Chain A
């Protein structure tokens, strides 16, 4: 019969229409600003710099090795190395970034900076409501805007953060154990065979 297929289709549409009042399967949307779905743990948006403790300058994990700057596919990271050094989490003297800028209007959220970072200093944020009326200055983030505490990292990616914390604690314990035997006086300057990251 001509029109049978259309009628069948209309039954289908009606089933979906009425089903949307009762079944979650058929109405999957939520009213966004009021109602929010939880983000999965892996969700990523833009990178941020992790720091330990309360002071972002003292606790900054980044040692300005500039690997992420080199590896970044769209080249949105700009780093200037400091001229002086500060102790890192194991007490070893390291450089720190005097300038660390990320142009988030260029960043494509690919996570490669996170993967190549040998110091677990850069991680992905999942904040997404970042609109600004200033399209140049407002989207060029400096190190102060990028620095976020480790506790924030724990909040957004608990599993990864715990794993990294364990790894860093093990490295610290190893460094301390190594520093002890020869450390009668100042232990912090003991030379360490910590692998300096290979370039490229």
Chain B
């Protein structure tokens, strides 16, 4: 019997091993301080031998009231907080929030700013996918080497972010109606060089991993996510595409200026760990294609809508939903304005949290070691899961 005073976790504990452990099921807590959990996250796992029978993700350790803080702060003051949602890719978070506010206030982003946004967002995608795949190999037991190669390349892009925005990870770069600062001198040349050198890294990385027998044994056929389950659970991003669903908001919504670029959407067939790895690798190559086109076509002009105001920003009453294809999936911001300087309602649709909901379905029947790998391909950041 569950009394009203039982904390919610207690209820779940009772639910997990229903028969009191009589058929020798073992319940263990994986995390919250486990090196593979990408932050403070716990999986309550029920094991039969080494096979996972049940798995409950337990999160909230990093909850910091992001949405309520944003409702009591001005629109601009929430911008640096969005950096801290998915702290690997702050620039895409900025863009999603800016997009929602621009819809609300009816601001027009100048063309140059749109191009800069595309460039920074695609660089962010490279940063995110290199980090994800690096950590994935780390969790498979390749201690350090592939991760360090990935971080070496990521570092070059973070240097670009630092010279543009002043900060490597907490960029706080985009503003409602444009971007904060003009590109510094020499930035474009430096970016072109990084983009030119990046395929060499991808080739080397693929040679290291893609055909590696150990990697294939650990990844192929593991953690299969079926197409219909992925759709029903609202999965987005590379995870959904690895299951074979052709859905990319860059193509569906064509937000910003994505209709001007020629790029493909890589799709998986099996929806296993290997497909999710491969989709990310291919997506990086497509991002490089977009980057090359954007860097080639970058026009001159202003980077801010002249109507945009820094101080005293009060959008008209109304509501808006801005969404983008963040590296992890659909990132959306839902805002309701009542005409005051701060939003009446502010809601984040985080891809990490929603992708996490199918973890149990993917892990059931696999061993603990596979659970860690499957969890790695979900690609979550706890800052975004808990908010």
* Complex Cα–Cα for A99 and B387 (A): 34
Give the residue name and chain of the B residue nearest to A126 (CB). B166
The residues of A that contact B253 with a CB separation of less than 8 Å are none
Given the interface pairs A110-B172, A111-B172, the reply to whether A200 lies near B163 with Cβ below 8 Å is no
Tell me if B380 counts as interface (CB < 8 A to partner A): no
Tell me if B208 counts as interface (CB < 8 A to partner A): yes
Give the residue name and chain of the B residue nearest to A42 (CB). B166
Give the residue name and chain of the B residue nearest to A198 (CB). B312
- Selecting from A5-13, A50-58, A89-97, A140-148, the interface stretch reads A5-13
* Complex Cα–Cα for A3 and B215 (A): 11
Give the residue name and chain of the A residue nearest to B216 (CB). A5
Tell me if B337 counts as interface (CB < 8 A to partner A): no
- Interface residues as binary, A22-43 with B (CB distance below 8 Å gives 1, 0 otherwise): 0001101000000000001111
Give the residue name and chain of the B residue nearest to A160 (CB). B181
Give the residue name and chain of the A residue nearest to B145 (CB). A13
Contact, CB under 8 Å: B80 / A73: yes
Tell me if A124 counts as interface (CB < 8 A to partner B): yes
The residues of B that contact A15 with a CB separation of less than 8 Å are 204
- Selecting from B26-34, B52-60, B70-78, B264-272, the interface stretch reads B70-78
Tell me if A169 counts as interface (CB < 8 A to partner B): no
The listed residue with most A CB atoms (<10 A of its CB), out of B77, B166, B208, B209, is B166
Give the residue name and chain of the B residue nearest to A67 (CB). B311
Tell me if A84 counts as interface (CB < 8 A to partner B): no
Contact, CB under 8 Å: B166 / A200: no
* Complex Cα–Cα for A8 and B216 (A): 14
* Complex Cα–Cα for A43 and B171 (A): 11
Tell me if A108 counts as interface (CB < 8 A to partner B): yes
Contact, CB under 8 Å: B180 / A42: no
Tell me if B39 counts as interface (CB < 8 A to partner A): no
Contact, CB under 8 Å: A112 / B77: yes
The residues of A that contact B208 with a CB separation of less than 8 Å are 8-9, 12-13
B residues contacting A by CB (< 8 A) are: 73-74, 76-81, 83, 145, 149, 152, 155-156, 159, 162-167, 170, 172, 180-181, 184, 197, 204, 207-216, 310-312, 341
Could you jot down 14 A-B contacts, CB within 8 Å? A2-B213, A5-B213, A12-B207, A26-B152, A28-B152, A40-B162, A40-B184, A42-B181, A43-B162, A44-B166, A73-B73, A108-B80, A110-B170, A116-B311
